[in-house]
Amino acid sequence: NAGVTQTPKFQVLKTGQSMTLQCAQDMNHNSMYWYRQDPGMGLRLIYYSASEGTTDKGEVPNGYNVSRLNKREFSLRLESAAPSQTSVYFCASSRLADYNEQFFGPGTRLTVL
Amino acid sequence: RKEVEQDPGPFNVPEGATVAFNCTYSNSASQSFFWYRQDCRKEPKLLMSVYSSGNEDGRFTAQLNRASQYISLLIRDSKLSDSATYLCVALSGGSYIPTFGRGTSLIVHP
């Protein structure tokens, strides 16, 4: 059981470039989440998918899009990267969207120059 | 004002000490609460859920005080390996968006 996996682990982009962060879970969880973590700001929810086929905005969705490809996979896309998107990105999953603890992937460290 | 507030610390304690953290939440509709541990440059990992009746897991005890809207984490007999940031999380009933506190840093020294 790998749990939650994320690729890539590190990425450097130039302003205006696009990229997709990949996330997959093998725990048969229904819900998946994307967070960013910045120093002094804590974890902030970007988008979530309560169940396969649904996606919703979180606290800081601007500049991002997501795709719930299937039950296992949930990707995060930056269409035109900006320096303000330099952050550590964590994907998480939970069995159900409410009342359940979340399991996190190892994170992607993204720098936008 | 953030909905979940934690003292950022750091709490600097010697090995063997008992240390307690509090976390206050502002949304009275919050139903589920958790403590996560996050090591430097790693992902958060669930430490324990917090139940209304309180719960204990070895050296760790979590309590919920609904009247005063806070949760607490007590660590007894601190180990060097307990050094980490501790995040509290509140989730409102019917909401799918958990609210994370910014974390409390604990440093356990020899």
Nearest to A42 among B46, B95, B101 (CB): B101
Task: List phi, psi (to 5°) of B41.
Answer: 65, 25
Which pLDDT score is estimated for B96?
Answer: 75
Structure tokens at A57: 């905005």
Query: How does DSSP classify residue A81?
Result: -
Query: How does DSSP classify residue B3?
Result: S
Structure tokens at B1: 């004002």
Which pLDDT score is estimated for B95?
Answer: 73
The per-residue pLDDT for range B32-60, each reduced to its tens digit, is 899 999 999 899 999 999 988 889 999 99
pLDDT at A21 over 90: yes
* Contact flag B91-A104 (C-beta cutoff 8 Å): no
Cα separation, A42 vs B90, in Å, equals 14
Place of tokens 């990425």: A11
| Nearest CA distance, B79 vs chain A (angstrom) | 24
* Contact flag B98-A105 (C-beta cutoff 8 Å): no
* Contact flag A42-B98 (C-beta cutoff 8 Å): no
pLDDT at A25 over 60: yes
| Nearest CA distance, B23 vs chain A (angstrom) | 14
Q: With contacts defined as CB-CB under 8 Å, which chain A residues touch B45?
A: 104
| Band of residue B92 on the pLDDT scale cut at 50, 70, 90 | confident
- Per the prediction, chain B carries an average pLDDT of 92
CB < 8 Å from B in window 27-66 of A: 31, 40-45, 48, 50, 56, 58-59
- Per the prediction, chain A carries an average pLDDT of 94
Cα separation, A110 vs B13, in Å, equals 34
Amino acid at B55: N
Nearest to B97 among A48, A90, A105 (CB): A48
* Contact flag B97-A43 (C-beta cutoff 8 Å): no
Nearest to B49 among A41, A101, A107 (CB): A101
Is the dihedral angle over the CA atoms A4, A38, B93, A101 positive or is it negative? Answer: positive
